[in-house]
A and B are shown apart, each in its own frame.
Chain A
Amino acid sequence: MSAPLVEVRDLCKVFPVGGGSNVHAVEHVDFSLDAGETLAVVGESGCGKSTLAHLVIRLLEPTSGSVHLDGVDITSLGNRAMREHRQKLQIIFQDPFASLDPRRSVGKAVAEPLTIHGKGTASEIDDRVAQLFERVGLTADMMRQFPHQFSGGQRQRICIARALALEPQLVIADEAVSALDVSIQAQVVNLMMELQAEMGLSYLFISHDLAVVERVSHRVAVMYLGQIVEIGPRSAIFENPQHSYTKRLLDAVPIADPRARRDRPLITGEIPSPVWEPGTAPTRVELVEIAPGHLAARED
């Protein structure tokens, strides 16, 4: 067994919100991710899944804990070393329009990481960008066009091309297909899977959409109020969920079959606030291994 590509250990992020109160966005999170593997992180608004993504790519500094990539703790790297390491990690966001400069051609947008990291001469970079465009299902002659000339799905393909330019090992997809129409979403998801098979990419797939997650992931982590309450192989989470919150999430997903319409047990209540008053903090959940690789928080 080779070492995992990513190892996250005891990662915490606390945001002070004034008056001594804190938002515990990410609390004692542990997980690992192998090369070529997709780990999905699911949960509802405010559960900390996007904060977790930003910590793993170090767009945010953790309050405590570590993130090892390829055996190196990236949370302790200086700027220069981090810049080298950033090539191995890329992120794709939900809104591809906001991620592209409206006044710069999309070819330049995809070329930028190659230029910054000095990956070849101008004409070599041009060839590489053309190749990337073809690879994500666009054509090389689109390179000279601008973001507003593309549809949402095409823009997301451009963002994927840019993320792949430096041949990363880990791609973080933060709700990357959530804003797309369903037919386009399916095409982009299929593209991401093809690229994974071809390039051996690992994905950290942040999503609130459990039906998409079921398609793409090898393993799934369920987050609730900043903590992982259940993690395990995809089939274990979907077919044998243990934690009450995982079950509740799965029960709430609408099923695209009117014959499966059921009288749901009416879910009541909402997720409590993640803001903790001065001097208080959340209780750390204790994960218990139920089956190999399948851990769930103990509940009273």
Chain B
Amino acid sequence: MPNETSPAQGSDAEAILSVRDLVVTFGSFTAVNGTSFDLFPGETLAVVGESGSGKSVTALSIMRLVELGTRGKIEQGEILFRRDNGEVVDLVGLSENEMREVRGNDISMIFQEPLTSLNPVYTVGNQVAEAVQLHQGVDKAEGMARALEMFQQVRIPDPEQRLEQFPHEMSGGMRQRVMIAMALSCDPRVLIADEPTTALDVTIQAQILGLMRDLRQTTGAAVMIITHDMGVVAEVADRVVVMNQAEIVEQGDVYDLFENPRERYTQALLAAVPRLGSMTGLDEPAPFDLVEMETVEMKQVDS
């Protein structure tokens, strides 16, 4: 149910980010319909769902990017962010100038396709240094020094040489490392990763997921990962929010959710996941054992 509270709430931990009754529309279409959830310091929260479930719109709403360019509108709800000094601000009420302070400094975001997120005419080192200069008010040399430090932290091989490269000279995996380096360069307290490994090959995906797990320990940032991949959820998440058709279907601890999904939608989603090793001992191919589910797919799309 949309207003269900997370199990961790009410304990000593105070949420760093609390989304309350969020409603986001695009014209007459409701993309997010009354969602509420919390993100706690140091945890990795996965928001999982299929195309059109509202998971990316949720992420863009937190960054207040949903109103820019995409003509989305936050109709209702609060996005409460707890600052370093304990002060709680509602991001929905902030001006664009105030939001610009929050983005990058407090909350950073990385996207699925690192190539479109990077400027093709500047070296990657310049781009990371620029982010640091803008947000921290340091000079170019300090910005470059910080970029080098970040490249080392995200384990980019030969970091000095890599700073001088252009995006097209790097592989997809390296570019995503650059994006993570840039996102973490100003020590944000929240990192939102929207399908960060979806465009990557499986061996590179494993490297990036491993990196994200390690970075959470070294930086202490809370991570919210948006994904359609239950395998990725199982690998990195502490808690999970399952979305379907603009609403939260179920949320909870990752172990509970995989072992004991309560809602039929979650059960159906898990049943459809191809699992490596599920065919051990069988010679012939076998169809998936599907749980009946009503998805967006079943309804014909209106013209």
Closest to A262 in B: B235
Given contacts A182-B273, A183-B50, A211-B275, contact A255 B297 (CB under 8 A): no
Closest chain B residue to A254, Cβ basis: B231
Chain A 5-22 residues near chain B, CB threshold 8 A: none
A253 within 8 A of B: yes
Cβ B276 vs Cβ A210 within 8 A:
yes
Of B202, B204, B268, B271, which one neighbours A253 at CB under 8 angstroms? B202
> From residue B201, how far is it (CB to closest CB) to chain A in Å?
4
Interface mask (A32-49 → B, CB under 8 Å = 1, otherwise 0):
000000100000110000
A208 contacts B285, C-beta separation under 8 Å: no
For the complex, what is the distance from the CA of A264 to the CA of B271, rounded to whole Å? Answer: 25
Residue B10 lies at the interface, judged by CB distance under 8 Å to chain A: no
| Across-interface contacts of A252 in B (CB, < 8 A) | 202-203, 205-206
Q: For chain B, residues 221 to 280, give those with C-beta under 8 angstroms from any C-beta of chain A.
A: 228-235, 237, 254-255, 258, 268-280
Binds B, one of A56-64, A67-75, A150-158, A292-300: A150-158
Nearest residue (CB) in B for A212 is B274
- Are A189 and B203 neighbours in the complex by a CB distance under 8 Å? no
* B229/A234 in contact, CB under 8 A: no
Say yes or no: A248 contacts B203, CB within 8 Å. Answer: yes
| A194 within 8 Å of B (CB atoms) | yes
Write out the residue numbers on chain B whose beta carbons fall within 8 Å of the beta carbon of A254.
205-206, 209, 229, 231-232, 234-235
Partner of A187, one of B206, B235, B285, B290: B290
Nearest A-chain residue to B295, judged by Cβ: A183
**A249: CB under 8 A from chain B?**
yes
Is A291 an interface residue, CB under 8 A from the partner? no
**Contact in complex: B50, A182 (CB < 8 Å):** yes
B287–A267 touching, CB < 8 Å: no
Contacts of B141 in A (CB 8 A): none
The 8 Å CB contact of B288, one of A38, A146, A215, A266, is: A215
Knowing A254-B209, A258-B255, A270-B204, say if A182 contacts B272 (CB, 8 Å): yes
Most A-side CB within 10 Å, residue of B209, B258, B284, B300: B300
Chain A hits for B296, CB < 8 A = 151
Q: For residues 259 through 292 of chain A, which have their beta carbon under 8 Å from a beta carbon of chain B?
A: 259-261, 264, 266-268, 270-271
A184 touches B (CB below 8 Å): yes
A184 to B268, CA, bound (A): 11
B300 and A211 within 8 A (CB):
no
Judge if A209 is at the interface, Cβ distance under 8 Å: yes
The answer to whether the Cβ of A217 comes within 8 Å of any Cβ in the partner chain is yes
Q: Which residue of chain B has its CB nearest to the CB of A270?
A: B171
Contact with A along B278-303 (1 / 0, CB 8 A): 11111111111010010111001111
Q: Is A182 touching B228 in the complex (CB atoms < 8 A)?
A: yes
| A255/B275 in contact, CB under 8 A | yes
CB-contact partner of A44 in B201, B207, B277, B279, under 8 A? B201
Q: Are A152 and B290 in contact (CB under 8 A)?
A: no
Bound: A258/B302 CA distance, A = 38
**What is the total of A-B residue contacts with beta carbons within 8 Å?**
171
Task: Report the bound CA distance from A249 to B110 in whole Å.
Answer: 25
A144 vs B70: C-alpha distance when bound (angstroms): 32
Kindly provide the distance from the CB of A173 to the nearest chain B CB, expressed in whole angstroms. 13
Give the interface centre of B203, B231, B296 by most chain A CB atoms within 10 Å. Answer: B203
For residue A193, which residues in chain B have a CB less than 8 angstroms away from its CB? 285-287
| B51 beta carbon closer than 8 Å to chain A | yes
Provide the residues of chain A in CB contact with B171, threshold 8 Å: 270
With contacts A152-B51, A215-B288 taken as known, whether A268 is within 8 angstroms of B202 at the C-beta atoms is no
- Please pick, from A150, A209, A259, the residue contacting B274 in the complex, using a CB distance under 8 A: A209
B173 at the interface (CB under 8 A from A): yes
User: Are the C-beta atoms of B258 and A256 separated by less than 8 Å?
Assistant: yes
Instruction: Indicate which residue in A151, A210, A215 contacts B301 across the interface (CB closer than 8 Å).
Output: A151
| Mask of A194-223 contacts with B, CB within 8 angstroms, 1/0 | 100000000000001111101111100000
CA distance A249 to B203 in the complex (A): 6
> Does the CB pair A45–B201 fall under 8 Å?
yes
Residues of B close to A122: CB separation below 8 A: none
Cα A189 to Cα B284 with chains together (Å): 14
A-B contacts, 12 listed (Cβ < 8 Å):
A145-B303, A149-B303, A150-B300, A151-B297, A185-B272, A190-B287, A211-B231, A218-B285, A254-B206, A257-B275, A258-B254, A270-B171
List the interface of chain B (C-beta within 8 A of A). 50-51, 171-174, 201-207, 209-210, 228-235, 237, 254-255, 258, 268-288, 290, 293, 295-297, 300-303
Minimum-distance CB pairs A-B, first 4:
A254-B231, A211-B274, A44-B201, A181-B50
Q: A186-B290, A193-B285, A215-B288 are in contact. List 5 more A-B contacts (CB 8 A).
A: A146-B303, A183-B290, A235-B282, A256-B273, A259-B255
